[in-house]
Structure formats: structure tokens, C-alpha cells
Amino acid sequence: MTPVDRSDDPEHHHMLIIAGHLVVEPADRDAYVAECAPIVETARAAGGCLDFSITADSVDPARIRIYERWESEEQLLAFRGSGPSSDQQAQILNADVKRYTISSVSEP
């Protein structure tokens, strides 16, 4: 299927994907993910949220997978708070999370 190009449409808002991972102590990972459940529920109920997950990696016991998909920048910013709590922030040993702006989408 051909991608839909709306780059010339002034009303078109580019979809955003936030994806990557956090690294925490393996002993803390499952509790960290569980503490994020209310954030996931709130995000999924927010306007413009197409998908949101914070999950344990299936292979690496220290890795937490982050994935967000939003209809627009405005909707992402309306949801986005101050980020992880100070307790959660202190548990993060490393992070690699990137933001991707998507201009077209097609079925595989």
C-alpha cells in the first residue's frame, strides 16, 4: 500500500512516537513497571493517545521498554506531566528514549 503523504496539508499534524528503554537494577524492574500502571491507564484515556506502554523486556532483566504513539504534538503536551517521580528518576541507571515524528503511515 502506498504511504499517505499529507506534508502539504496545513491541517495535518504529524504523528509522534516516543520509543526506547530505561535501565534499572534487575531487582527493581518489576516493581518499577508495576508503579507505572496508573500512568499507562491515564495516558491511554488521554485524547490523542493511540498507544502507550511501559513494559518489562522479555530478555534483559534490567531493561524497561517505553512506547508511546500520539496523534499530535498538542495532545502529547496536554498529557505530559513532569515525567517520572523523583523516586523513579533515582532508580534509572541509564536511558535511551527517542522521539520520532512520523509524516506518513501505511499498512504493512
Tens digit of pLDDT for each residue in 13-39? 688 999 999 999 999 999 999 999 999
According to the model, what pLDDT value does residue 66 have? 97
pTM recorded for the entire structure: 0.81
According to the model, what pLDDT value does residue 8 have? 44
Query: From the centroid of its chain, how far is CA 39?
Result: 11
Nearest 5°: CA angle at 103, between 98 and 105?
A: 100
Low-confidence ranges of the chain (pLDDT < 50): 1-11
CA-based nearest residue to 36, from 22, 17, 18, 19: 22
Pick the CATH number of 19-102 from 3.30.70.100, 2.60.120.10, 3.40.640.10, 3.40.50.2300: 3.30.70.100
Delimit the domains of the chain by residue range.
19-102
Q: What is the CA radius of gyration of the chain?
A: 16
- Rounded CA separation 10/88 (Å): 39
